[in-house]
């Protein structure tokens, strides 16, 4: 989102939630990022922008020095309502 203004949704640990018996995070074997693009809405230049932004992020992946941490973790549907901040940083989503 920070690179190209493109929203995505995580489909991995955050989406998997916590084990109800232990409260521990569930860790699926793969982590995915889903980009949902409605059909017949965007032009080819929009799709090109998405592709170019993803290529830039991939090329600069080694410059990413930290992950994210929860600043708000709701009890249900946390992948819809959670808020994150850079590890040790300021909240980047205040929506």
58-91 pLDDT tens trace: 999 898 878 888 889 888 888 888 888 888 655 5
9-66 residue pLDDT tens: 888 888 898 999 999 999 999 999 888 777 788 889 989 999 999 999 999 989 887 8
Angle at 56 between CA 86 and CA 85, to 5 degrees: 10
Exposed e or buried b per residue across 43-54, where buried means at least 16 C-beta atoms within 10 angstroms of its C-beta: eeeeeeebeebb
CB 83 within 8 A of CB 91: yes
CB 66 within 8 A of CB 87: yes
């Amino acid at each position: 989102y920070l690179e190209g203004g493109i929203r995505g949704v995580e489909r991995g640990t955050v989406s998997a939630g916590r084990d109800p018996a232990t409260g521990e995070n569930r860790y699926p074997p793969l982590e995915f990022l889903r980009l949902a693009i409605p059909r017949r809405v965007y032009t080819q230049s929009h799709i090109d922008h998405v592709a170019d932004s993803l290529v830039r992020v991939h090329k600069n992946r080694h410059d990413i020095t930290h992950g994210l941490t929860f600043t708000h973790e709701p009890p249900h549907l946390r992948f819809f309502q959670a808020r994150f901040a850079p590890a040790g940083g300021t909240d980047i989503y205040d929506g």
